[in-house]
C-alpha cells in the first residue's frame, strides 16, 4: 500500500514508534534513527524495573518490526550525525518524531526549520501535551497525558475511589493510530497541492477526544454523569456478571426496552415483564441494585458455556470477558486476523505477534499488511542507508 513512501522516524518509547510501526506494516520504508544507546524500549524489561536485560522486548518488537535501524549521534551540533540526519530527511516523505518540543528544537529539528528546508515533507509531531502552552515541555507518557490529565482515569471509577493501574501502551497506541490517520491525510493533500504540512497529535488531545461523550455533556450542559459501582449500574442490561464456574461475561443491552424481553425469556422470568420494578428502562434504573442482585444470583446457577447456549438461543446480546490466555486462543480473534507471524530479523527471532489494526485484503483473501521483515538490530542498517545518501 505505502511502497515508495519513506518515513524517517526519530522516536522512542511508544506513541511515535507505534505510528511508524503501522506504516512499516503497510509497506512504507521506515528508517528508525536511534542514539548510540538505542531506543530504551529495546531494554524495556530492564528499564522499567524488571531487572532482566537478557530478554527480548515484545512491546518494542510490536512497534518496530519491519523498520531499518540507523544509529546517528545527534548530540554535536556540528557533527556528522546532524549532517547525515539533514540529508536523510531531505529524501523523506514523512518525518515522524515524538521527542519533546524542547529536545527537538535543540536538535534543530523543530517544525519550522525542517518544513522550511523540505516544503514537500509531511512533518508529524507527537507529544504528551501539545507543542504550545504552559506544560508543552512536560513529560507525559500515556498514563499522564492520555489517562490522567484527559479525565479518563477519574471517570473510570466511582467518585473518591482510587484509580486502577492502567495497562501500558493503550493510550500510546490510540495516539499512534491517530497519527497515522493524520499522516495519510497530509500525504493525500500533498498529491493535490505538491506541498507538505505539519501535523500534530498529543496524548492529551487524543485522550480528550476519546472522552468526548462525557466532555461534550460537560461543555453543553455543565455536568457529567456519575460513575457507578457494578452493583448499582443504572442500566443492569449493560453490566458484567459472573457465571457459576467463576467466568465473567458482559450483557450488551444498550437498548434496554427492546432487548429486555429477550433476556427475560432466556431466564424464564416472564413475570418481570409486568413487574412494576422492572417493566421499563426507567423503572429498572430506579431499582437497579435489586435487579442486579437477582441477576447475580441467577447467573451463578449455570456455567458460562451453559449461558452461552441459552443466550444464543434467545438472541441475548453478550460478550465473554476474556483473559489474555483466552484472547490468544479465541477463534474469532484468530479469524479476524488479529495475530501474525513475524519473520526472524537480526534483532529478534521469528515470533507470533499482534497484527496492525487494519487489514488490506487481496483478491484471494490474503492480507498485504502482514509483516514481511523482522525486527532490526540496533544500527543494523546504518552503513546501508548512509551509502544510499552517498555518505558511506
Identify whether 78 is a catalytic site residue. no
How far apart (Å, rounded) are the C-alpha atoms in residues 126 and 98?
4
**Contact by Cβ (8 Å): 155, 163:** no
How far apart (Å, rounded) are the C-alpha atoms in residues 93 and 187?
8
- Which H/E stretch holds residue 319? strand 318-320
Q: Of residues 29, 172, 257, 275, which has the active-site annotation? A: 172
331 exposure class (CB count in 10 Å sphere: 0-12, 13-18, 19+): exposed
How far apart (Å, rounded) are the C-alpha atoms in residues 227 and 230?
9
Q: For 50, which DSSP code?
A: I
Count other Cβ atoms within 10 Å, centred on residue 126. Answer: 28
| Beta bridge partners of residue 249, listed in sequence order | 241, 320
Q: How far is CA 318 from the centre of its chain?
A: 24
Buried b (16+ CB within 10 A) or exposed e, 132-153: eeeeeeeebbbbbbbbbbbbbb
Count other Cβ atoms within 10 Å, centred on residue 191. Answer: 7
**Contact by Cβ (8 Å): 128, 141:** yes
Catalytic residues: 172
Amino acid at each position: 500500500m505505502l511502497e515508495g513512501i519513506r518515513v524517517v522516524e526519530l522516536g522512542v518509547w511508544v506513541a511515535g514508534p507505534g505510528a511508524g510501526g503501522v506504516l512499516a506494516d503497510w509497506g512504507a520504508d521506515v528508517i528508525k534513527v536511534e542514539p548510540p544507546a538505542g531506543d530504551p524500549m529495546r531494554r524495556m524489561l530492564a528499564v522499567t524495573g524488571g531487572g532482566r536485560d537478557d530478554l527480548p522486548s515484545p512491546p518494542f518488537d510490536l512497534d518496530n518490526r519491519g523498520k531499518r535501524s540507523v544509529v546517528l549521534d545527534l548530540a554535536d551540533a556540528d557533527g556528522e550525525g546532524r549532517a547525515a540526519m539533514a540529508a536523510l530527511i531531505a529524501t523523506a516523505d514523512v518525518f515522524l518524531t515524538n521527542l519533546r518540543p524542547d529536545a527537538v528544537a535543540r536538535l534543530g529539528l523543530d517544525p519550522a526549520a525542517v518544513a522550511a528546508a523540505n516544503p514537500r515533507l509531511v512533518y508529524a509531531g507527537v507529544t504528551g501535551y501539545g507543542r504550545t502552552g504552559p506544560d508543552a515541555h512536560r513529560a507525559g507518557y500515556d498514563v499522564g497525558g492520555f489517562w490522567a490529565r484527559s479525565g479518563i482515569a477519574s471517570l473510570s471509577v466511582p467518585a473518591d475511589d482510587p484509580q486502577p493501574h492502567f495497562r501500558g501502551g493503550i493510550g500510546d497506541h490510540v495516539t499512534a493510530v491517530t497519527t497515522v490517520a493524520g499522516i495519510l491525510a497530509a500525504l493525500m493533500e500533498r498529491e493535490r497541492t505538491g506541498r507538505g504540512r505539519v501535523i500534530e497529535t498529543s496524548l492529551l488531545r487524543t485522550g480528550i477526544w476519546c472522552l468526548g461523550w462525557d466532555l461534550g455533556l460537560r461543555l453543553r450542559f455543565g455536568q457529567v454523569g456519575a460513575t457507578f459501582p457494578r452493583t448499582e449500574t443504572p442500566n443492569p442490561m449493560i453490566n458484567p456478571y459472573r457465571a457459576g464456574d467463576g467466568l465473567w461475561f458482559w450483557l450488551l443491552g444498550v437498548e434496554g426496552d427492546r432487548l429486555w424481553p429477550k433476556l427475560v425469556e432466556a431466564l424464564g422470568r416472564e413475570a418481570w415483564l409486568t413487574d412494576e420494578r422492572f417493566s421499563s428502562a426507567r423503572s429498572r434504573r430506579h431499582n437497579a441494585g435489586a435487579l442486579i442482585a437477582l441477576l447475580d444470583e441467577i447467573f451463578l446457577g449455570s456455567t458460562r458455556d451453559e449461558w452461552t447456549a441459552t443466550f444464543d438461543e434467545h438472541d441475548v446480546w453478550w460478550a465473554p470477558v476474556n483473559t489474555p490466555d483466552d484472547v490468544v486462543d479465541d477463534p474469532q480473534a484468530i479469524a479476524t486476523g488479529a495475530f501474525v507471524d513475524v519473520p526472524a530479523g537480526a534483532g529478534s527471532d521469528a515470533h507470533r505477534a499482534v497484527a496492525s489494526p487494519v487489514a488490506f485484503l487481496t483478491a484471494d483473501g490474503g492480507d498485504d499488511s502482514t509483516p514481511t521483515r523482522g525486527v532490526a538490530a540496533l544500527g543494523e542498517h546504518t552503513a546501508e542507508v548512509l551509502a544510499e545518501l552517498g555518505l558511506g
